[in-house]
């Protein structure tokens, strides 16, 4: 990677962290309706993963989707405006936190129903295979989703049809308040891919460079016509499942232990220790991300609400 690319990964991770912290604040001020699932702690996963894709590769995820949107190149302005339900938002203020999508950036959302986007991902990949497009579909989902029927149907068909897709399980150790071991018969989720003969790998999700490397290899493998690949990425969410989670299901010591492994801190040290960036350069990127976040909040607050007529727009595709 060129130096610029190393720095860009750092900038993206810091920007996601700050946008999420701003979102938490806006939620507490009563400016965001519905649920809000933050990506804090998991930034290295989507940043490493999506940095390895080509523009024609599709990305689809569940509802913990703000960071993924930023990695796909959606401006922070539009992400925060969507959270506030403003007309300038990614989904024109009608999707909210869980339904951000921008097909022009090959970002296919943002889906609220656990596991339900997995057959959609399979369909995207089938379409690409049928049309002989040189595109790989990257489908992200949580550990909890691997207990859902859709997961098994989608994985099975992806292997039967040798579809060009990378399945990415973000194993953040919990599905809402349920620890993996309490809900899944196997605690290594990649074993479920094994059951469908899908090649797989487990990756340290707190290290953005390890995620990137694994993603590059997985995407190249799939692009060469070998059928699907499955990545299980070990990570942790530092905040509650959504806002207002009393977190009775895990001990503060456990959270602290993972927080000592903060993916941004780890990457910061790697960049400095390996002489890839100076402290001053990283300070500058942090300041840049802070200014972008503040400007995005202001942009969103000053943006208009959707007009009532917008209720009837963008529901169906014009025939």
Ligand X SMILES: Cc1ncc(C[n+]2csc(CCOP(=O)(O)OP(=O)(O)O)c2C)c(N)n1
Give dist(CA 142, CA 242) in Å, integer: 14
Choice between 74 and 145, CB closer to ligand X: 145
Contact partner at residue 212 from ligand X, Mg ion, none, CB < 5 to 8 Å by partner kind = none
Select from 89, 57, 261, 271 the least CA-distant residue to 168: 57
State the minimum distance, in angstroms, from the CB of residue 268 to Mg ion: 26
Laid out side by side, the sheet with 200-204 consists of: 58-60, 137-142, 165-171, 229-234, 200-204
Contact partner at residue 114 from ligand X, Mg ion, none, CB < 5 to 8 Å by partner kind = ligand X
The size of the interface with ligand X (CB under 6 A), counted in residues, is: 13
Structure tokens at 89: 């938002």
Among 48, 95, 96, 175, binds ligand X (CB under 6 A): 175
Q: Which residues of 171-191 are buried (b: 16+ CB within 10 A; e: fewer)?
A: bbbbbeebebeeebeeeebbe
Structure tokens at 114: 């656990």
Contact partner at residue 176 from ligand X, Mg ion, none, CB < 5 to 8 Å by partner kind = ligand X
The region of 71-79, 106-114, 196-204, 256-264 touching ligand X under the rule CB under 6 A is 106-114
- Using rule CB under 6 A, residue 113 touches ligand X: yes
Q: Is the CA virtual torsion 239, 269, 47, 299 positive or negative? A: positive
In the complex, residue closest to ligand X by CB: 142
- Using rule CB under 6 A, residue 95 touches ligand X: no
Element (H, E) at 209: helix 208-221
- Using rule CB under 6 A, residue 144 touches ligand X: yes
- From residue 80 to residue 119, the character string flagging contacts with Mg ion as x (rule: CB under 5 A) and all else as - is ----------------------------------------
Among 174, 196, 230, 267, binds ligand X (CB under 6 A): 174
- Using rule CB under 6 A, residue 114 touches ligand X: yes
99: helix, coil or strand? coil
The region of 143-151, 213-221, 285-293, 307-315 touching ligand X under the rule CB under 6 A is 143-151
DSSP string, 101-161: -BGGGTB-----STTTHHHHHHHHHHHHHHTT----EEEEEETGGGGSHHHHHHHHHHHHT
Structure tokens at 28: 């507490």
Residues 62-91 that bind ligand X (CB under 6 A): 64
Among 9, 145, 198, 219, binds ligand X (CB under 6 A): 145
Give dist(CA 16, CA 289) in Å, integer: 9
- Using rule CB under 6 A, residue 143 touches ligand X: yes
Among 82, 143, 207, 232, binds Mg ion (CB under 5 A): 143
Contacts with Mg ion by CB under 5 A lie at 142-144, 172, 175
**Residues of the shown chain interacting with ligand X in the complex, contacts defined by CB under 6 A:** 64, 112-114, 142-145, 172, 174-176, 241
């Amino acid at each position: 990677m060129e130096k610029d690319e190393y720095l860009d990964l750092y900038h993206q991770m810091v920007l996601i962290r700050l946008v999420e912290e701003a979102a938490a604040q806006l939620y507490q001020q009563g400016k965001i309706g519905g649920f809000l699932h933050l990506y804090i702690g998991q930034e290295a996963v989507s940043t490493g993963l999506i940095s390895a894709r080509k523009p024609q590769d599709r990305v689809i995820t569940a509802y913990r989707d703000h960071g993924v949107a930023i990695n796909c190149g959606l401006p922070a302005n539009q992400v925060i405006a969507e959270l506030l339900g403003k007309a300038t938002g990614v989904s024109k203020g009608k999707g909210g936190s869980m339904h951000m999508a921008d097909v022009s950036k090959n970002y296919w959302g943002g889906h609220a129903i656990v596991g339900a986007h997995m057959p959609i991902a399979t369909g995207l990949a089938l379409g690409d295979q049928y049309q002989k497009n040189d595109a790989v579909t990257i489908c992200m989902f949580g550990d909890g989703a691997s207990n859902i029927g859709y997961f098994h149907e989608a994985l099975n068909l992806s292997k039967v049809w040798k579809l060009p897709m990378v399945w990415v399980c973000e194993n953040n150790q919990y599905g809402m308040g349920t620890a993996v071991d309490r809900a899944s018969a196997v605690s290594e989720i990649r074993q479920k891919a094994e059951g469908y003969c899908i090649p797989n790998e487990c990756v340290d999700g707190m290290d953005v460079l390890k995620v990137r490397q694994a993603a590059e290899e997985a995407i190249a493998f799939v692009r060469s016509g070998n059928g699907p690949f499955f990545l299980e990425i070990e990570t942790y969410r530092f905040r509650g499942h959504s806002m207002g989670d009393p977190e009775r299901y895990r001990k503060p010591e456990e959270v602290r232990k993972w927080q000592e492994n903060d993916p941004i801190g780890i990457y910061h040290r790697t960049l400095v220790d390996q002489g890839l960036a100076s402290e001053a350069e990283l300070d500058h990127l942090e300041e840049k991300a802070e200014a972008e976040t503040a400007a995005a909040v202001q942009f969103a607050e000053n943006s208009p609400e959707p007009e009532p007529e917008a209720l009837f727009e963008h529901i169906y595709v014009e025939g």
